[in-house]
A and B are shown apart, each in its own frame.
Chain A
Amino acid sequence: MIERVVKIKNKAGLHTRPAATIVKLAAQYKCEFFISRNGMNINGKSIIGVMTLAAEEGAELVLTFDGVDEEEAANEIVAFFENGFGEE
């Protein structure tokens, strides 16, 4: 299992469009993927789940990956967070 802490970097926060991209990225991998914040643990492969996360600029989230391709999944998804979802 891999655990990574990420910070929201874009101004608009984790809004609907990046949420959709995260779920689409996660769907390509077999491993389990969870996002947790403030004691809430959300399945990262569920769009409606990820949409319940209110994460503004600067918020910290814990991502966990568990499964055969956990490393590849972690690399791609963490990079998407670090990149500020490709936004400002």
Chain B
Amino acid sequence: MKSFKDIYRSAENKIAGIGAAPGIVIGDVYLFTKEKLEISKASITDVEEAIKNLHEALERSKKELTKIFAIAKEKMGPTRAGIFEAHLMILDDPILILNIINRIKKEKKQPEYIVHDEITKYQDLMIISHESYMKERAHDIEDIKNRIVRNLRKKQWKSKIQSDVIIISETLTPADTLLLSRNKVKGFITDHGGLTSHAAIISRSLNIPAVVGTHDASHKLKEGQKVIVDGFHGYVLFNPTKAQIKFFEAKHEHLVSLQKELEHLVDQPAVTKDGKEIELLANVDVTGEIDIVKTSGAQGIGLYRSEQLLDEMGTIPSEEEQTTVYSRLASRMYPDSITIRAFDIGGDKFNLFDYDEPNPFLGLRGIRLLLENSKLFKEQIKAVLRASKNKNIKFMLPMVSTIVEIRRSKKIISDCMAELSKENIKFDSEMDIGIMVEVPSAAVMTKELAIEVDFLSIGTNDLVQYLMAVDRGNDLVSDLYQEFSPVVLRTIKMIVDDANRAGKPVSLCGEMAAETLAMPLLVGLGLESLSISPTTIPYAKKIITSFKFKDAKKMAKNCVENCFEEEIVNNLEKFFEKNNIVRTRNII
């Protein structure tokens, strides 16, 4: 039988990208665009007809939005879905609609022009505000404006996304990805983004195959065209030949049967052949993922990226709202624990504060931003504490680079505790406080930092980026983003050894832990806890139960001494072969 290599070598109909979420899928392309609509300012003769069209378009838009509102309620809870309710109300806004109708009667112009012009006026009012959330609001309303205009042009009106299509887009926001996934979308292809883009992370957690960073797939592919998406190897094949379809269908079937085989591992612990148990925790982005976590066999949540709340809600959630979300997560996971990471805002994630920074990745992000905005920080700490009654919450500080930052944070946390005590509010007064080790300066100081905290978690996404001085979102240099660089391995080893010496537990979160190739290596380096996307957990168990810790340790020692990433990857591949471990990438 042919191999993937044979297939791709001879294929002229391939587009190369990055395999962001594993899986193989064959289907038709749906072009998801957000391009600007050309608005017709043409005059009309039949005013009655135009008004009738307007009402029909409003009704259709309402139907669409009602559906989105329902999905949002299910995925994000009724409070946070409230923003969509307000959008629905705009379609019923008596003042807005009266103005539009009056202008249609008076100016006798295409309704789409009047609708566009009227709503734009409100957006302009929002944009002139200095508040950044008002700009977001204006952006949100763009969706409603385009929806009405689209529905006014019945002919060009694209019906709602059909099920079973493969979405292709220049970029996808987390919200797009989440909403599209509800439409039984089979796969994602994007022009931009890398492994760690939010769309990639979410598609992985929702188990939808994705290929990102294709540069120009959205221009090369046409709507309705048949494609094969290979999220394992990062290729898209367009207009596939019969032979290619046959090959991939067979692979897909094999994959399905393999997944069934993995299901029985859910309730099994991850123990190496010589008896070393590895704790497997889940990374959680959106609260909707909790169901997947519960069925994945995870022993807890090792990383809850709380800043995703800002994205889901479109604004900074209040202390009360945060308390509700954290309490719900904690009680659903009880008695297992959940590690809440404080808002990691800044860098590429959320620009709520309008800081004008020439180099945001080296700027005010993570704990630095929280210490600058103590009101925001305190509200989050109090919400976390309020949710900690059952003693299954841990709190983690992101982007720590000095001891001073830890001490200042701990002072604020103890202030918050004192304030809550005064109000007679119950909380876990011994809640574990830990840090992310994701900046080289923290890695170098692990020994000293470990003394100050209860636990450490290595964040590989940022650690690799800062160690290698490479922007992980930049396609031009993404080949320098080497997770298996000796630099990264040696640094991880140093952190693990120093944490062990200090007697503090250390875990590793980040996408590296989700790369099945890395697992024996990480275990061999001495990590006893890994936090990965929930869908990867069964695969991780299969791998970990297939080798001896003793052998992994020896292999890791060799790798640490290597000088090139290629050597290390070779070593790892050999280890898989020697131990007869099937890897996600070549099992199929």
Contacts and interface: CB of A to CB of B under 8 A. Distances in A.
B318 A16 contact: no
Given A15-B133, A88-B319, 18 more contacts: A12-B315, A12-B316, A15-B315, A16-B315, A17-B79, A17-B83, A20-B82, A24-B89, A46-B96, A47-B86, A48-B93, A49-B96, A51-B86, A52-B122, A54-B126, A54-B131, A87-B320, A88-B318
Contacts of A87: 318, 320
B125 interface: yes
Contacts of A51: 86, 90, 122, 126, 137, 141
Interface of B: 79, 82-83, 85-86, 89-90, 93-96, 119, 122, 125-126, 129-131, 133-134, 137, 141, 314-316, 318-320, 379
B140 to A, nearest CB: 8
A49 B86 CA distance: 12
Contacts of B126: 51-52, 54
Nearest to A46: B95
A16 B94 contact: no
Contacts of A43: 95
Contacts of A52: 122, 125-126
B133 to A, nearest CB: 7
Contact of A17 (B82, B90, B95, B96): B82
Contact of A48 (B85, B90, B131, B379): B90
Interface in A30-55: 40, 43, 45-49, 51-52, 54
Nearest to A87: B318
10 contacts: A12-B316, A17-B86, A20-B82, A23-B89, A24-B89, A46-B94, A46-B96, A48-B119, A49-B96, A87-B318
A48 B82 contact: no
A8 interface: no
B122 to A, nearest CB: 5
Nearest to B123: A52
Interface residues of A, number: 23
Nearest to B95: A46
Contacts of B86: 16-17, 19-20, 47, 51
A20 B89 contact: yes
Contact of B82 (A10, A16, A45, A46): A16
Contacts of B315: 12, 15-16
B478 to A, nearest CB: 37
A52 B129 CA distance: 9
Contact of B83 (A16, A49, A56, A88): A16
A28 to B, nearest CB: 13
A11 interface: yes
Contacts of A45: 94-95
A14 B558 CA distance: 60
A40 B121 CA distance: 14
